[in-house]
Chain A
């Protein structure tokens, strides 16, 4: 038989969060198969360690944290050689005023080029469901570090995804930081 109450809780976690987790996993890993594996691993681990979830309202952050740890574990095991160093990128031109929509595939290509420490906060930021504090806790870094990494990652994405305006706008100070 097992534990019907606990089983129901895991099932409700799946019902409530599997889509968000899948999107997060996909954006992190860049591949559908890896994303599905990560989500499966995450829920299996959640089922195993459900008693550790003291605050049900923190379930989503908890699941995201499990998923990210699983992803980092895979990343270390696979020794991916990719990623550019953001130090190579400096100034970003201002985008055109009428901004086009971003193609999700191009977004993914750009995300794939980001080192994980930049990719994770920017994904969580654009999911719009996590505060800076949440992201900082997930990554176990100070909020200041999260803000800094976010600024650089956003600048990188802007550079990759939005065509520059024909005439460079006045520098805002926010866009010229070396990453």
Chain B
């Protein structure tokens, strides 16, 4: 059996009250699908990304996979165990860390919190003491281990929440915006921890608004929109899907009509999208978007036409472009990529 979390046509519909119960006309409850037939595979030993705009169904998916919510229909298995039927056994194997959420006891110290959660996960007493020490060191809270959590900063609480999520040495870790609100060095350390966990065999599902984080960590990424899977692949494969490609921004020292004509001619010849504007010092600035990197061709044409370039910047297509393009496409069903 392959070690993985596998979902089959997972659906979650939230009943929403459409009108107060005392008003007679119309349906009182309407179905609000948050996840609509999702098929995912989260293998052990790698980080899998789950991306989408707000309301796409990422958090609902994570809550279902963590057994907090039951699917309305469809199913999911964790190493072959059924998400609903074997929920208690699955809870031993997984854990979830959600960014910006409290999830720890404010009036206990960091150490007491980890001890308590260790007890809830039945971590053997001999192992628990060592595990608490390891985790406090891992998240950099050794100095504050015996301080009450109510005295912690937001970042310290989040770091403790991360330690809580690792207390049971989970085989699968579900991360919902785990670096939200963390300082850059701590976020970097967390990314290193996640990468290390994946190398050690842990399957990680990551949602994040920091797409650089996803590009850095994820072997595969699933993009969802309106609760449906709209694309999947490696970050590079998804990036290549987008039509919002290379962006070249070129700024000239002074207005030059010949250079302007050269840029327009390049646009006509290659089909590139060109936007002309002025920068803060009123110098001409052209933004050229095309599926290929036109920086060399553009610079040659401008210089040949007598233009003096003061700034040239090339922005390659990003995963963010891909997610936005795929989400846009999902809003127009006929344009959803296969």
- Do these two chains interact? no
